[in-house]
Amino acid sequence: MDCWHREIERANTEADVVTRAQDYLLLWSPVELAPLARESRNVRIESGADIDRLKRTASAASITPYTPELHELASYLWHAARRIGEIRRSHHA
């Protein structure tokens, strides 16, 4: 899934990151996201705050038997959150 990470790096605005993260989340089936749904009723991405919330939820859930799949999702969300931080800092510089 390196192409998805490259897309995050190409994002120039927070909205771009959110859109890419929304698209990425659509690849996940409800069964794969079920462990997240147990922790957070809202497994959707509509803003940078949602990315931050889901990254924490996915990270916590990745220590369960679902580790490989959720670790991949958590890694992507951490990357997306980091990119949003970079974009925000560049606009304040």
Give the pLDDT score at 51: 96
57, 40 in Cβ contact below 8 A?
Answer: yes
- Please tell me the pTM assigned to this model: 0.88
Residue 1 has pLDDT above 90, yes or no: no
Q: pLDDT tens digits for 47-93?
A: 999 999 999 988 887 676 656 778 899 999 999 999 999 999 998 86
